[in-house]
Each structure stands twice: as structure tokens, then as C-alpha cells.
A and B are shown apart, each in its own frame.
Chain A
Amino acid sequence: MPSMYIERISRPSLFSRLDVRVKLFIMFLASTLIFVWESVIYQCAMFLVALGLALSAHIGPRYIRRLVITMIPFMLLVLLIHGLFNPQGQRVIASVPEWVPLLGGRVSLYWEGLVFGGMVLFRILTPLLVLPLVVMTTDVNDLMLGLVKIRVPYKVAYVFSVGLRFVPFIFSEISTITEAQRLRGLAIEKMGFIKRIPVFASLAVPLILGALVKAQTLEIALQSKAFSGSAQRTFTNDFRMRRIDYLALASGVVLFFGAILTRVLLNWGAFVS
């Protein structure tokens, strides 16, 4: 079972000190620029920048290794499928020998396909890395205030914070419920797929009903703490954009429009192999 918390990186770094709004903009860049380019080099460069940021922000190599290692089967699959079948494929790297029945001589691995597959991988990895990067280096209260400052309604931002707070709680509920099922003699791990479905369903029912009963309690607690959902409140962690934030934001904006213009006008970042 993975850690139930978002690991907080408390060691300060240049990145972690950036204004939340700048970090959110970087997140926006990471999830849009990947569509602009089709070049593996551009995509790889962007991933390396994200990786560099992550390492500079003291995100443990262990965390990154786990992200990458867990995804290896998927990554191999992507490479293989694109290597074999992508319509870009021209130069043959290897072929299935003639003597193999059915596939012999018909299936080949193409260089361009592999390159395309590689580009796809970076496209997926970059935003997957940047989201935890931003969240792990930011205090939840700061993140909430940052969202409010970019006009996300306070109530929605608050849902993020309080939702996060209760993830470990829901986890322990799930484990007590599955435990209760085993204690009734039900061995889910031994059941076939079809039998497993109703058991899965009966796990979720007490989980959700129980959580809704608890939600009433939460509602009462929130009201007792004078919560009204209004953004008209004090934020003890108020912050302002500093020079470095404006600088980072400006370069981000330049990068964003620059990338689109150069792609459209000069065809930079087109597919290469």
C-alpha cells in the first residue's frame, strides 16, 4: 500500500519558494506544451527540466525511481506497440524471421515508431511528475490560498484541503472493512472475478454510508468552528508575488507563446527521428 499522505518536502529550495500561482502556471505549462511538440527531443528536454526541478526541490530519487519503475511494463508496451505498428515507421530495425509461423516476415520493429513511442512516454511522464512536484513542495494552506487567488472559489479550494485531510482516515476505514470481510470467512483473494464483484461492491457500501454519517459530524464541527464558506476571512499565510516570481511567470508566458508560434510558423518541434 502506498503512503497515505502527500509527502511534504520541508527542505526549502528555489522551486519550493516560488509563489503558488507560479507553480500552478508551471503545472499548466507541463500539461499543455506536451501537445504542442511532436519531437522526442523537445519532449525529452521538457521532461529533463521537470526532473531537474524535482531533484532541485529535494524530491527523493526513491520517489522518482518508484514512479518510473512501476510504469516500466506500461512503457515497454508503449515502445513496442509504436515500434511495431506506428504509421510513422519506415526504417526496419529488426524483423520476425521468415521461419516463424504466421508472423514471420510480416512484423518488424521500426526506428521511427520507437522514437514516436519514446516521445509519448515523455508526454505522459512530464505532467505525472509535475503534479506531485507542485503539491509536495507546497504547504496545503498555501496551495489553497493560491487557488483562491487565481479565482478558484474558496469552497472548492477548501474541498481539496479537507479531502486531503481525510484520505488516511478513509484508508483505515477500507482496511477495517476488508478485514471484517475476511473475519467473516470471505477470502477475496481466492475468489474468481465474477464472485469478486459483489464483494467489492459490499466493501464500498459500508464505506460510503459510514463516511456520510461521519460527514454529518464534520458538518457540525465545521459550523461550530464558524466556517461559512465565504472567502471573507483571514488567511494567516497570505503571500505576495516577489520579483523572482514575476520573472519566472514572464519566462513561462514567453515560453508558452514562443513554443506555439515557432511550432506554427517555423515548424519547430515537429516529429523527427
Chain B
Amino acid sequence: MSKQILSIEDLSYRYPKTAEFSLHDVSLRISEGEFVAVMGSTGAGKTTLCLALNGIVPHFYGGDFFGSVRVGAMDTVDHPTHELARQVGMVFQDIDMQLTAPTVASEVAFPLENLCFPVDEINRRVSAALEALRLKGLEEKHPHQLSGGQKQRLAIAAALAIRPTLLVLDEPTSQLDPVGAEEVFRVTRRLNQDHGITVIMVSHASEELAEYADRIVLLSRGRLEADKPPSDFFQDIDFLLEHGVRPPAVTAAFSCAFRGSSFPGRYPVTLAEALEQRASVLSKLEAGSTSASIADGPVHSDEIVIRTRDLHFSYEDGTEALRGLSVDIRRGDYVAIVGQNGAGKSTLIRHFVGLLNPSSGAVEVFDRNTQDYDVSTIAQRVGYVSQNPDNQIFTDSVRSEVGYALLRLGMPKDQVAARVEQSLEELDLGDVAGMHPVTLSKADRSRVVIAAILAMKPEILIFDEPTTGQDYQGSKAILELTRELWRAGKTIIVVTHHLYLLPGFAERLLVMGKGRLLSDSNLRSGLYATATLEETYLNPPQLVRFVESFGDEALEKSQPLTPDELALTMAAD
């Protein structure tokens, strides 16, 4: 048994001025060299738990603290944060705010300087940490000049240079694109396996955690509900969903397919394990029909609402973001646009509302060239919901926020009021109409922004990365909302990295790479065009990879996208 380095005993904690406890009777022990994942929905207490490990909770916040947290031999209540910082390296979700120094090298040196290490030692460690995180050669760069993945690796390098007993990562990938997220998972795993660094990682990425973690801890409303190795942790799917945790796609698929029947052993939690279960799947396939065709979305009109012709765009610095792109969006479409960062997705949709004007080629919205009218005019017919709700909320109550722009556009007051009420109702915000937006959750603030944009009655709605930074339930809720709006007749365009969330929502998939349109098809064939997806550094959903690696022609032909569909293909007994 290796050395125990963290022990939490009956930890309960409540922030000042709040009634509820954020952590309740949590006990947890972690030994040297372990990779422990923490899962749970937003508000489950995951971040509070992380902050308790280096004493930010309770030293910075105050509040009521019960029980104890010991890192090595240090009790976190008896030692100030700057002493605990020598033992616990922290990496946060916010990739911008945690980098505080003007250059990459000084970022890594900063905590070491604070801890009064000698200069030679600091230089050695900075160099080693940058080497380990593959950031050599970027020493003099400003953090703002790095990509998201590089920023997060820099944060890890800075945490690592202290040579902490424990490396804590709080949702390190939730603001990253798939490439960046993979970088972070890869280095974290390498640090854990090759260098024996003990890791605690909070994440929603079930597939990755199933592969990397030694143990997964489930927090729900401040209580520790489970603490098991991944192969056990993901077995009880209903239990997980109840606590807001999404199981890996293969696990869900197997559980769906074999529901009620006796499955030999346990459901697989990784792709490799799932493929090992080939025999049991095959027997099911033979028993069932192979022609499960699931109808795609309703037929839409032929009216083209957005049309781009040979669209080129270059930024001022010369970066060519779009290189000859022609696409038609028809009324009633539900389009998802995917691609790696820098593929040109945002550049494209910004042309749809006139935020950018083509360098050459043309964009027509409702048969008019976008260059002929300005953003504020287009915005009344094309709603654009950008990523961070906090940058889009201008007033001090939900109700006034929804009516904010309408009043300033000179609409009569009673008409505004009617629109506002309708919009509030559509988004189920009636109960909070009088509240200040800052008091709502992030998911609800997003709804406020959507309500405000809906109040203008746009015919097209564009969502830029609506699921980034949201947990599973939050993401689902927003996508369900888009589906309702689509059913109500709006044309929907969603830009996202989260391919696995799309089935059941989008019906058309545009795949972009390096400023070009790589494919334009229905969602099903789009997600199964795995070569195209990989060309733009997107991982196909786990279920698709499973079907592809499985090597059964009939199964491949039916192209299932959801666990239910896969189960259907495999047919019940």
C-alpha cells in the first residue's frame, strides 16, 4: 500500500451568508500516485472540494467549516494558503484569469519566486516544467498569444514546477476545443503514469475519465455519493443520470441494448472493453432486424434564407479564415456547424449577421446582400446568441433585460410589454422575471439572453458554442430549447465542439476545416464520415467509433447515433 497523501474526514462546509451546506460529511482518502476523478452536476460542490484542498476554503471565504482536511502532514485549517501552495498545485477552468504573469517563463517562475526558491533552482525547474508540458520555445510569449490548450498546459506547468504532492485540476478542459482538451488529458495522464504525480481532476468527460482515472468520486448536493473504480462507477446508469452524470456512450448503449436480458458480466466503460464484448453483441445482431431506419427530421421548405457564394475572408493580420465557401441555409433547417478551432466556424456565422464583411464573394440574408445593411438591422431578423451570457446582460432585472433593446429601438411600451411577457413565458422565466440576473445560475442567465433575443422575433437563431462551460443537464436543456424553437418554425444554426450532444437535435451537419467546407450532409452520414471529421481534428462520437471498429456491415449500414438506436438495431429478444 503506497503512502496516503490526502485525507478528508467528515468535511462539511458552508459559505458565509448562505443557508445550504456546499459540502456535507465528505470523507475521502487518496494515496500517492492515484488519479482520482470527481464528477457531479453544477453546484454539486466539486469546486468547493478543490478549494478546500489548499485552504482557500475556508481561509479566503470564511464560513462554517467542520471536520478536517490533511494534505501530507498539514491540516489545512492550521496552515495558511501560501504554505499549502507548496503541497498542492492548482489548475482552474478559467484559462485566462489564472495566468497572471506577462510572459510564459515568468508565469512558471512566479509561484517559485513567491516561495523564495533560489534563482538557480527556479531556472532549472522552469526549464524542466516547460519541457514536460512541451512549451519550450514559447518562453517570451504573452499568455494572450497562446492557444487555449497551450494556456492550460502553461497553467499545469506552473503548478507542476512547485513539485506538489498533489495536482488538482478543476474542469481544466471545459473551455477548450477538442484538440486542446485532448492535449490536457494526455499530459495529465503522462504526468500521473510516468512521473507518479497524484492527480485529482474534476471533469464531465466520462469517456476520458473511464480510461484514465483509478477512481471516480461522485458528488451530489455536497454529499459524496459514490467512490469507485470507473468499471464499477458507470454500471448503474439510472443512478448516474439521477445525479446529473452522463455515462460513456458505449456503456449507455450496452445498458440499453441488454436491458432486461442477462448480460454476461459488467457493461464495458471504454471503447476497447466494448469491442471485447463482440460476441455478445453479434448474437444480438443476428437475432434482430438489421434494417432499423430511423426517420430524420421533418421536410423543410425550399426557401433559401442564407446564401454564401465563394466567400473569402482574411483578418487584418493576414490570417485567411475562409477560403471560398458556398453554402445555402433553408428556412426550417436545423444546422450544426463543427470543426476544429480556427476552422472558420465563428468567422462564417459572424458573416451571417454582418458582424464581418467578406473580403470577396457575397453573403445574402433573406435575398439581400449583408453589406447593404448594418448589424442592428439584420439582428432583428437573425438572432445571434454568443457564448458568454455575462457579456450580454445590461440591466438589473430579468424583465427589463428582455425589453432592453426593444425600448431603445423605439417600440411602443405596451407592445414591448406584451413581447416581453411572451418571451419570458416561452423560456419559462416568469418566476424570476423580477430578479437581478447575477443571482441566477449560468444556465438561466443564458436563457435570459435567449429570451431577450427571441423578443425581437427573429426568424433565424444562431447559437455560438451554447454548451461550452455547461454541465450535461445544462447542455441538454439548452439543446432541448433549440429543438422547441425549431419545431415552432425557427431556422436554427448551432456551432459546437460537442458532437455527441447533437443526435436528436440537429438534422444537418456542416463540417469545416481550415476555412473550407469539408462536408455538408445530414447529421447521420456526417457523423459517420469519420475520415472527414478527423481531418478537422474532431473525434467522432464514441458510439460511432464503436460501430466502425466493430466491423459488421449491417450494423454500419444502419448508422445508429444514440444508445436507443443501437439497441433498436440489435433488436429485443
Contacts and interface: CB of A to CB of B under 8 A. Distances in A.
Query: Direct A–B touching in the complex (beta carbon < 8 Å)?
Result: yes
Interface of A: 4-5, 10, 140-141, 161-162, 164-165, 168-169, 173, 176-177, 179-187, 190, 195, 199, 202-203, 205-206, 209-210, 213-214, 217-228, 232-236, 238
Contact of A179 (B81, B97, B118, B386): B386
Contact of A225 (B100, B142, B388): B100
Given A185-B456, A238-B119, A225 B379 contact: no
A232 B114 CA distance: 8
A217 B110 contact: no
Given A186-B409, A234-B122, A177 B391 contact: yes
A234 B380 CA distance: 56
A234 B408 contact: no
Interface string B24-52: 00000000000000000000000000010
A236 B97 contact: no
Contacts, number: 164
19 contacts: A162-B100, A182-B379, A183-B453, A184-B404, A185-B376, A185-B377, A185-B405, A186-B405, A186-B408, A187-B375, A190-B376, A202-B404, A209-B438, A217-B97, A223-B81, A228-B82, A234-B112, A236-B113, A236-B122
Interface in B376-421: 376-377, 379-380, 383-384, 386, 388, 390-395, 404-405, 408-409
B56 A220 contact: yes
Nearest to B381: A185
A218 B51 contact: no
Contact of A181 (B118, B383, B394): B394
A206 B384 contact: no
- What interface size band does chain B fall in? 35 or more
B374 interface: yes
Contacts of A141: 101-103, 106
A235 B123 CA distance: 11
**Which secondary structure dominates where chain A touches chain B?**
helix
A92 to B, nearest CB: 49
Contacts of A5: 142, 144
Nearest to B380: A185
A-B residue pairs, 3 tightest by C-beta = A184-B405, A226-B85, A187-B376
B390 A217 contact: no
Contacts of B88: 224
Contacts of A162: 100
A206 B70 CA distance: 40
B386 A180 contact: yes
Nearest to B144: A168
Interface of B: 51, 54, 56, 60, 81-82, 85-86, 88, 90, 92, 94, 96-103, 106, 109-119, 122-123, 140, 142-144, 158, 162, 353, 355, 374-377, 379-380, 383-384, 386, 388, 390-395, 404-405, 408-409, 438, 452-453, 456
Residue with the greatest number of chain A CB neighbours at <10 A, chosen from B97, B103, B111: B97
A190 B453 CA distance: 21
Given A202-B395, A224-B85, A179 B390 contact: no
A236 B109 contact: yes
Contacts of B51: 220
A232 B122 CA distance: 16
A121 B353 CA distance: 46
Nearest to A144: B102
Contact of B81 (A10, A203, A205, A224): A224
A206 B390 contact: yes
A164 B101 CA distance: 9
Contacts of B395: 202
Contacts of B386: 176, 179-180, 183
A203 B115 CA distance: 40
A154 to B, nearest CB: 11
Given A227-B114, A234-B112, A235-B113, A140 B102 contact: yes
Nearest to A4: B144
A69 B85 CA distance: 50
A202 to B, nearest CB: 4
Contacts of B106: 141, 236
Given A141-B102, A168-B144, A187-B376, 14 more contacts: A5-B144, A169-B144, A181-B394, A183-B386, A186-B405, A187-B377, A220-B56, A224-B85, A225-B158, A226-B81, A226-B86, A234-B116, A234-B119, A236-B123
A91 B480 CA distance: 81
